A and B are shown apart, each in its own frame.
Chain A
Amino acid sequence: MRYPAFLQKIADRADVQPVRVLTFTIDGRMVSAREDETILSVARENGISIPTLCHLDGLSERGACRLCIVEIKGSAKLSPSCVTLPRQDMEVITNSERVMDYRRKILELLFTERNHICSVCVSNGHCDLQALTAELGMTHVHYDYLHTKQVVDASHERFSVDHNRCVLCQRCVRVCDEIEGAHTWDVMGRGHLSKVITDLNQPWGESITCTGCGKCVQVCPTGALSEKGKSVAEMTKKRQFLPYLKLMRGAEIT
């Protein structure tokens, strides 16, 4: 749990507020965790892979994509592991047939919402969404495509946003707010009609808050945000900077 900064300092002191350590099982393996760690991070620490799309090391969790769902014994619903905290003796299953099936369906639905055409995409071959299809064994989309009409905003001098390829993971929103501190990006609308916007839905090129740092482009999992002038399959993204940047910013605050 995060507190306001002045309280957080006290909260972080282990002698005042000791963090409890608990044990639970993931896929039958006994693991131990701090009570404030998510199931996802505990699983990854223990080498158990859970697919994710909206999660990115260095950013806060949003629980937007639901690809990291897991089964918890005793609970009828599936829980997103990136925003679920473990409890003592909890039994988590990450790879049951039911979980895998739902993940594939979620992925298929992501494809139906917008117009993802890998062969002509700047991120072809370097795309998290594309990589997930292989990882989860998605071979077909079994639902009708919505074929929504989406636009490209290339008004920014260096970058462009193609809403056809956006999966609404909100990585751009978070990195802009949490790391750059500009909060240029946000989300407008509801459900599948949601869309990421700059400022108050002005063209990106006219945004007065955008610093042009390009972090949103680097964290975007697909070709939705890209550098202008990149041709098909040329857009590779550099994300290694994020955890370090987060660390540095954290050090400045305290």
Chain B
Amino acid sequence: MSHTIQIKPITRIEGHGKVTVTLDDSGLVSDAKFHVTQFRGFEKFCEGRPFYEMPSLVERICGICPVSHSIASAKACDSILGVRVPTPAKKLRRLLNCGTFIQSHALSFFHLSAPDLALGFNADPAERNIVGLLKSYPALAMDGIQLRKIGQQIIESCAGKRIHPAWVVPGGVNNPLPEENRDFLLSLIPEGYKIIRRTLDWFKGLLDNYREEIRTFANFPTLFTGLVNSEGNLEHIEGKQRFLDSKGLLIHEDFDTDKYQEYLAEYTEHWSYLKSPYFKSLGYPDGIYRSGPAARLNVCDSCGTPQADQEWAEFKGLERGPVLSSFYNHYARLIEILFSLELMEYLLKDAEILSSHVRSIARNNEFEGVGVVEAPRGLLIHHYKVDEQGLITWANMIVATGHNNLAINRGILQVARRFIRGDKITEEAMNRIEGLIRSFDPCLSCSTHAIWSPKFRVDILSPDGTILDSMIS
């Protein structure tokens, strides 16, 4: 008899979701689904609002990456204004973005995933969390907290507030960076370097313990995508979108992100509120692609900063083609933190960062705008249309997690096939399914953020929906 196993809620991710695993008559896994169970409706209720409110309005989608949303949104609004953003403002936005990458990646790596990595996937769930980590690996946990703090301090020093700042505006930013804040931020960098160096060494030494996870965490060929700058280097804010196939070959010349609708399409499944974007010319679901830290490092020609480039070369050396296993997203996250610290140092040492020419003023001159950035967890697209008055008539947002939806689903199936045996779900299988999801650091478009939930529950259901077995840990 076939069974369905549910994991609900999935813990230590941003937002709410659940997993169902279906077993066939012989007790083998036949299917797995990742459901996003909440509906927000931002695209609908933004209609009728003035476009210049959008950067702050869309920030409320998330409490972890509001900065990414505000920059993507402001870029879309820049196009509606039809003006050129002053160079100092571009640099300030970039500096702010470094802050958000450091804090978000630190959160994902240390607070959410390090408990699995340091204590092991089979450790007692009561200990396998940031509090347990503080007891067993206090230095590591404190490093994580400190690194995240540095990221948050960058955001606060630029934008005045750590969460949901209203600093990025259409046409630039609304205040220059004070000199004392620049000096303060420069003073944070040495400690950041020390922490990330320590953590990289620790993580690399750990990889051998996780061969099985590396082999099964979404380790299959897909396309990879990410932004690259005009030199083909790692890029988070500007640039063009590159797609590589699973062999590492360019499948098309780099795309102009304004025209994302020409090469991306979204598919809606009836069982999830999260749509599944796919690469249009390959169709659904063959157009599966991955976005995010490892994908970015896969597609770029180099990072463009000396220390990160060294690490990047080592990362690329893991496999001959693109690095396929999503387990390596953790690794890529650490490299991107290093990259962000270096970029931040470079920006802060540029005298132009203190310029007061930070905003271009204009009214709405165009009727449509697209803004694309790399959020910490992947590509983020904001696309608006406005009427003559500048009121939004239509909005479309494709969030980072969406791009990875197909890969997360297929990855869960891969992990479930490897670790689930029979109709009893084991702790180790459950933990690895969650671990796979966490490796993508999904942000289910939600500002509520559970570090861990005391009620982690798995149900085994018969085809008619009755619960055959239930486990709460």
Contact = CB atoms under 8 A, between A and B. Distances in A.
B50 A160 contact: yes
A232 B53 contact: yes
A148 interface: no
Size class of the contact patch on chain A:
20 to 34
A122 B169 CA distance: 12
A153 B55 CA distance: 20
B464 to A, nearest CB: 39
Size class of the contact patch on chain B:
20 to 34
A232 B50 contact: no
B236 interface: no
B169 A155 contact: no
Interface string B293-334: 000000000000000000000000000000000000000000
Contact of A151 (B48, B52, B362, B363): B48
Given A124-B166, A231-B170, A233-B166, A155 B60 contact: no
A124 B53 CA distance: 12
Contact of B169 (A119, A151, A152, A231): A231
A27 to B, nearest CB: 39
Given A120-B57, A154-B390, A154-B391, A230 B52 contact: yes
B49 interface: yes
Contacts of A228: 50, 52, 363, 390
A151 B50 CA distance: 11
A119 B164 contact: yes
A229 interface: yes
A118 to B, nearest CB: 11
Interface string B384-419: 000001110000000000000000000000000000
Interface string B55-66: 111001000000
Contact of A231 (B53, B60, B363): B53
A214 to B, nearest CB: 16
Contact of A152 (B50, B57, B362): B50
Main SS at interface, chain B: loop
Interface in B34-83: 48-50, 52-53, 55-57, 60
A77 to B, nearest CB: 40
Contacts of A231: 52-53, 55-56, 166, 169-170, 174
Interface string A115-128: 00001101010000
A65 B416 CA distance: 62
Contact of A119 (B52, B60, B361): B60
A234 interface: yes
Interface in A145-163: 151-155, 157, 160, 162
A154 B48 CA distance: 10
B53 A122 contact: yes
Interface string B213-243: 0000000000000000000000000000000
Contacts of B164: 119
Contacts of B170: 229, 231
Contacts of B389: 152-155, 160, 205
Contacts of B362: 229
Most chain B beta-carbon neighbours within 10 Å: one of A157, A230, A231, A232 = A231
Contacts of B56: 119-120, 231-233
B166 to A, nearest CB: 4
A124 B361 CA distance: 21
A234 B174 contact: yes
Nearest to A203: B389
Nearest to B362: A229
B48 A152 contact: yes
A131 B97 CA distance: 32
Contacts of B57: 120, 232
Interface in B189-208: none
A46 to B, nearest CB: 39
Nearest to A150: B48
Given A231-B174, A232-B166, A234-B169, A152 B52 contact: no
Nearest to A162: B50
A120 B60 contact: yes
Contacts of B52: 228-231
B49 A152 contact: yes
B160 to A, nearest CB: 10
A205 to B, nearest CB: 8
Interface in A182-233: 205, 228-233
Contacts of B169: 231, 234
Nearest to A151: B48
A230 B60 CA distance: 18
B238 to A, nearest CB: 21
Contacts of B363: 157, 228-229
A155 B50 CA distance: 11
Most chain B beta-carbon neighbours within 10 Å: one of A151, A153, A232 = A232
A155 B56 CA distance: 22
A231 B56 CA distance: 8
A119 B57 CA distance: 8
A155 B387 CA distance: 10
Contacts of B174: 231, 234
A200 to B, nearest CB: 20
Given A120-B56, A120-B57, A231-B174, A154 B50 contact: yes
A233 B164 CA distance: 12
B161 to A, nearest CB: 10
A202 B52 CA distance: 24
B316 to A, nearest CB: 41
A21 to B, nearest CB: 51
Interface in B344-389: 361-363, 389
B108 to A, nearest CB: 25
A162 B56 CA distance: 17
A136 to B, nearest CB: 25
A154 B55 CA distance: 18
Interface string A67-93: 000000000000000000000000000
Contacts of B391: 152, 154
Interface string A217-254: 00000000000111111100000000000000000000
A128 to B, nearest CB: 19
A229 B359 CA distance: 12
Given A154-B50, A155-B389, 4 more contacts: A120-B53, A124-B166, A160-B50, A231-B166
7 contacts: A122-B53, A154-B390, A229-B52, A229-B361, A231-B169, A231-B174, A232-B56
The 8 closest A-B pairs by CB, nearest first: A232-B56, A154-B389, A231-B169, A232-B166, A120-B57, A233-B166, A120-B56, A231-B52
